[in-house]
Amino acid sequence: MTAAKAYIGGTWTSLTKSGKAYIGGAWVAFGPAGGSEYLTWSAGEPTSTDLNDGTQCYNMGLVFSLVATKNCTGVRWRVPDTVATPNGTHAVAIWADVADTRVAYKEFTPVTGGYQNVLFDSPVSLTSGTNYVAAVYTNHYVLRSGSPSGFTSPSGNIVAGTGRLASYNSGAATAPRPPDPFSSTYYVSPICAT
């Protein structure tokens, strides 16, 4: 990803958000210098892209660790083909796993049927050698059987552990860290600086 500027109010301004623009027939990444990455799913795309369990809501995602200390700028999620509002709103979060402390949180409106990057208001520094949990609060979800353990980002810095799940119907703002390990991939990944 390269740094970019936008012409705003008569002056060129450095962008603080990242994204992609369709230029010359291809999607080109833009944003602050440095770039970012997330887990790649070597097992392939989800086998189920529109699951729900009635009115049950979940905080779901995975455990991950970093090889080197990096800033985490958000969470990437494969949004289901349909969504419904889960007892309040959708949200993504990062927790320190053992400390059970939520270190980042962002509510958002999902765009169905593809991957969506949800960026925090400001990056959070994550240290190497610590287990974290990345999760999304939702009632519709995607799934592939089998643990995401061992999946990595392109640089190898982000390393996935087991899938995690918590059933919780009282809203995203108070949803707990997903404590229960599951052998399922929910296509939730941290977005970290390269």
Structural domain span for residue 155: 36-193
19 and 91 share one domain: no
Let me know whether 154 and 181 are in one domain. yes
Same domain, 115 and 104: yes
Residue 172 main-chain phi, psi, to 5 deg: -65, -40
Quote the pTM value.
Answer: 0.82
Are 95 and 164 found together in one domain? Answer: yes
Rounded to the nearest 5 degrees, what angle is found at the Cα of 162, between the Cα atoms of 125 and 175? 65
Say yes or no: 70 and 154 in one domain.
yes
Cβ neighbourhood burial of 82 (10 Å; 0-12, 13-18, 19+) = exposed
Band of residue 101 on the pLDDT scale cut at 50, 70, 90: very high
Q: How far is CA 2 from CA 33, 68, 76, 161, in A?
A: 5, 22, 19, 30
Whole-number pLDDT of residue 49: 96
3-state SS assignment for residue 172: helix
Do residues 4 and 68 both lie within one domain? no
pLDDT at 184: 96
- Whether residues 125 and 186 share a domain: the answer is yes
The tens digit of pLDDT for each residue in 6-15 reads 666 666 665 6
Give tens-digit pLDDT for 21-70. Answer: 766 666 665 655 568 999 999 889 999 999 999 999 999 999 999 999 99
Regarding whether 182 and 90 lie in a shared domain, the answer is: yes
23 and 105 assigned to the same domain: no
Number of domains in the chain: 2
Mean pLDDT across 145-159: 95
Pair (28, 66) in one structural domain? no
Q: Which has the higher per-residue pLDDT, 5 or 119?
A: 119
Phi and psi angles of residue 173, each rounded to the nearest 5 degrees, phi first: -60, -30
In angstroms, rounded to a whole number, what is the distance separating the alpha carbons of residues 146 and 125? 29
Please write the tens of the pLDDT for every residue from 75-86.
999 999 999 888
